[in-house]
Every structure is written in structure tokens, then in C-alpha cells.
Amino acid sequence: MRGRFSPKGMTEVEEMETRGVRSAVDLRSDTVTRPSQEMRRAMMSAEVGDDVYGEDPTVNRLELRAAEIFQRAAALFVPSGTMANQIAVHLHTEPGQEVVCESRTHLFNLEMGMAAAFSGVQLRPVATETGRLTWGAVEPALRLADPYNKARTGLVVVENTHNWAGGVVVPPAVTRDLMRELRQRNVACHLDGARIFNAATALGLPVTELTAGFDSLMFCLSKGLGAPVGSLLVGEKEFIHRARVVRKMLGGGMRQAGILAAAGLVALEKGPQRLAEDHDNARYLAQGLSTMAGVRIDPAMVETNIVVFDLSESEFDAPHVVAKLSERNVLANALDPAHVRLVTHCDVDRTRCEEALFALRAVLERE
Ligand SMILES: *Cc1c(COP(=O)(O)O)cnc(C)c1O
């Protein structure tokens, strides 16, 4: 029933809200956002063609616009961020090689072992305190000097913002340093920039400042930017040409995908400018949480739209807190027994964050 239009032109969710039936405060992820009316209108009137033939004008427009924003030669529209990352791993490596990434990354934890299954590479996770992958952390993990015993490092993947590390921003000085060293050693570097616009917003810099120099990068339209589906893989012309072939291998060749790209274009043009509001709301949640019993969080460390708080000193574990919150109509995710994650987005305003804090206090202090 979600998202269907009523005769009044409201979605059923909106109609429920006007009748006083409140939907949950859904802080599980920024993927839960529903397309805006502007997106739905754009989808309705999108010009389409068969994108596997390269004939969907709206997909072509989205790809060109993404390449332009990142000042790269080309871009490819793919169904998910996972597919974008896996295409990049496939193209930058050979079977039997290693890929170095931070230990809490999406690539290592949430992509179903696909790097091994599809590309025949093994991941070498590097644990860091903050989630920021520095050259100092990467250097000892590289395997370049012993080609007869050790699997050679073929690729390093940087995640910015770093999701499970609490949405932390990796500053350009850190990645520039890393890339300079990798280039000297002929090791490729891919950016998992699922939330790169959040990072750019937090730093007050254009995305190009954070992405220049990477061999390839991906970002998601379907996270904070608010689109229903889709990500873009961005890079050089030859790389994107080969990526298009791998996308087809993975079953990611979509036909009249302009329907989705139309929403993606709205997300790309309008999404970034409102992310600061999500960041303010995340900091507001963190400030409230920092005053609650058993919670460890430093609001100053909350830089973007993700709040990860530590319950190792609480009498409750994370799954318990998440279950109790859901009884109070607030949805969150437990990352592990001691950590809960809250993610702010365009469908959760300040009032709903106040409701979430009220429920959190009730669960953490009175139950
Ligand atoms: C969400 C996400 C992805 C990929 O997401 P899909 O759900 O496959 O679109 C990749 N990396 C990070 C850091 C993410 O948060």
C-alpha cells in the first residue's frame, strides 16, 4: 500500500498521517526514504528507451550529469551500490589478488562475500580506531614484494563517509596522501562514496575535492539523496566501457530504466543541498543520547547523518534496545551486541527526532 496515490493526490502514508495514524520514526537507514512528489512527477513523464541498447535518453542524461559533477569522463547507472563496488573490484583486480579495505566497511561486511565469489579475490581488512584509512594503516597490509608466496595487493578501497564507523568523514589530505603512495606502487584505489555528498556537505567542499585521483568511485542516489533506486559508478572512459559489460554479466542491464533515472536526476540536483539538515538532526540526537544512562557517545564526533552509540556500559544490549524502541514506533538497527545505529534522512524532521529521543530515554532509563 505504500506510495500508492489516493484520489486526493496524497500517498496512503500521507493520508494516514492526516488521519492521525503516525508512521514509525524510521531511523534504520537513509535507504528507507520514499520518492518525493517531484520525483514521482519526473518518473511519470520520463522519456525512455532501451538502455541495454544505450537508447534511454533519461539514463544517458543522468550518466552525463554525474560525470560532469565529478569532472570525470564517464559514469554508469547501476541498480545498487553493491553492484558498483563489485564491478570496480572485478575490473581493478585479477583472481588470486588481495583487496585492502577498512575492517568495518560495507565491502567487507555487507556484500555477501561477492568479491571472492565473482572476482576470485580475498579481502584484507585493516582495523582502524576511527574508520579513516590512512597510508600508515594501509602500508603494513600491502603485499607487493613477494610474488611467489603472497597474494599481491591489487586494489585499496576507501569508504567515505564511513558508515559503520559512525558516518565519519575522511578528509582529502588523508586520501591524497594514500593515493600518492599507492600510485607510486601501481596499486589502484576505488572510492566507496555511497555518502560522498554527506562528506562534502560536512566539509563544505565540492565533491571533486574528495574524489579527484581515485581510479574509480561510486555514489548512491538511494541513500540521503532520496531516490528510490540506483547508484553511479564514475571513472575514465575505457573503465566505464568495460564496466558496462560487467554490469550486463551481473544481470544489471535494465531496459526502460529512465523511469528510475528520472527520480535519480531530481535526487542528484536537489538532494545534496538539504543534507546539512540531516546532519543537524543527527547531532541533535547525539546530544540527547549523551545525557542518557549507560550511553557512550561524543556528539562532537557526529559529523554527518549517522549516529552510532555504544551500550557496553548500559544494563541493556543493542538488540534489546532496538526491540523495545520498535514497540514505541521508533526503528533503529543494532550493528553488534553493543552498538546501535540511527540514520537521519529527508523523511525524518526535527519533531520526529524529538519523538525518537523521548522513546530512547524511556527505553534506556525506565524499562
Ligand atoms: C549502502 C551502501 C553501499 C551499497 O548499497 P546498496 O544497498 O547495494 O545500494 C555501499 N557502501 C556503503 C558504505 C553503503 O552504505
- Tens digit of each residue's pLDDT (9 = 90 or more) over 38-86: 999 999 999 999 999 999 999 999 999 999 999 999 999 999 999 999 9
Q: What is the model's pTM? A: 0.94
Give yes or no for residue 1 having a pLDDT over 50: no
pLDDT confidence band for 227 (50 / 70 / 90): very high
If one looks up domain 39-271 in CATH, what number appears? 3.40.640.10
Ligand 1 atom with least separation from CA of 85: 10
pLDDT of residue 366: 75
CB atoms within 10 A of CB 2: 8
231 Cβ below 6 A of ligand 1: yes
Distance from the CA of 219 to the center of ligand 1, in angstroms?
Answer: 8
Distance 297 CA to ligand 1 centre (A): 24
CA 336 from centroid of its chain's CA atoms: 19
Confidence of residue 17 (pLDDT cuts 50, 70, 90): low
Pocket flag, ligand 1, residue 30 (CB < 6 Å):
no
* pLDDT grade for 9, boundaries at 50, 70 and 90: low
Q: Where are the CATH 3.90.1150.10 domain residues in the chain?
A: 12-36+274-366
Average pLDDT, the chain: 95
List CB contacts of 126: < 8 A, sequence separation 6 or more: 100, 101, 102, 103, 133, 137, 138, 141
Distance CA 79, CA 34 (A): 16
The answer to whether the CB of 73 falls within 8 A of the CB of 129 is no
CB 111 within 8 A of CB 154: no
Predicted confidence at residue 2, as pLDDT, reads: 44
The C-alpha cell 523521548 sits at 358
- Domain 12-36+274-366 matching CATH 3.40.50.1000: the answer reads no
